[in-house]
Every structure is written in C-alpha cells, then in structure tokens.
Amino acid sequence: MGSIELVGIVSMAVAGLTIAIGTIAPALGEARALDRALNSMAQQPDMSNTITRTLFVGLAMVESTAIYCLVVALILIFANPFWNHVVAAAGG
C-alpha cells in the first residue's frame, strides 16, 4: 500500500471518527441544558425571556466544541495539507 492510499484512508476514517465521537459530549450537554431550561420555564414562566436568552448564549458556547470537530473534519476532507503534499509528490 502506497503512502497515497494510506493518507486517504486515514484522513477519511479520522474525519468520520472526529464527528462521530466529538459530537457525543456536546449533544448530551446541550440536551441537559435544554432540559433544565424547560423545567425552569415551566416553574417560572415570568422569567422565560431571561432563561431563553441565557440558554441561547450557553448553547452556542457548548456547541462551539462540536463546531471545532466539524471544522477539523472539513479540513481533513476538503483542505487536507498531507493529501495535497502526497499528491504533489506523486504527481511530480
């Protein structure tokens, strides 16, 4: 197996694993935050404006970890520096 196949296989597999593993924790965390927010809103409907605002800001922060995973996966798929290097070396 040449290095070009190896780089391709590793890039694709790691891109998939990045998204698959990397989104587990943010998903659980966001679900938890949403759960608590809905509970609080049911208990105190007057505060729902404040709770919603805080929820959005907090969710965005939690979500940024998942977004990092997405960006890494996209770089591996579309802008992979190792792939470009191997292709350039093979193409001569």
Partner 1 sequence: MPFGPDSVVLWAWGPVRVNLTLAGTWVLMVVLVTGSWLVTRRISADVEPSRWQLLLELVVEQMREQVREAGAKDPDPYLAFVGTLFLFIAGASVLGIVPGYTPPTASLSTTAALAATVFLAIPAFAVMARGWREYLRDYVRPTPLMLPFHVVGELSRTLALAVRLFGNIMSGQLIAAIIVSVVPFLFPAVLQGFGLLIGLIQAYVFGMLALVYVLSAVRTHAAERPVEPPHVNNVLDTE
Question: Which residues bind to partner 1, rule: CB under 8 A?
Answer: 49-51, 53-54, 56-58, 60-61, 63-64, 67-68, 70-71, 74, 78-79
Minimum CB separation from partner 1 for residue 91, in Å?
Answer: 20
Q: Which residue number, 17 or 56, has a Cβ lying nearer to partner 1?
A: 56
Minimum CB separation from partner 1 for residue 56, in Å?
Answer: 6
Q: DSSP assignment of the chain, as one string?
A: --HHHHHHHHHHHHHHHHHHHHTHHHHHHHHHHHHHHHHHHHH-GGGHHHHHHHHHHHHHHHHHHHHHHHHHHHHHHHS-HHHHHHHHHHH-
Q: Which residue number, 37 or 86, has a Cβ lying nearer to partner 1?
A: 37
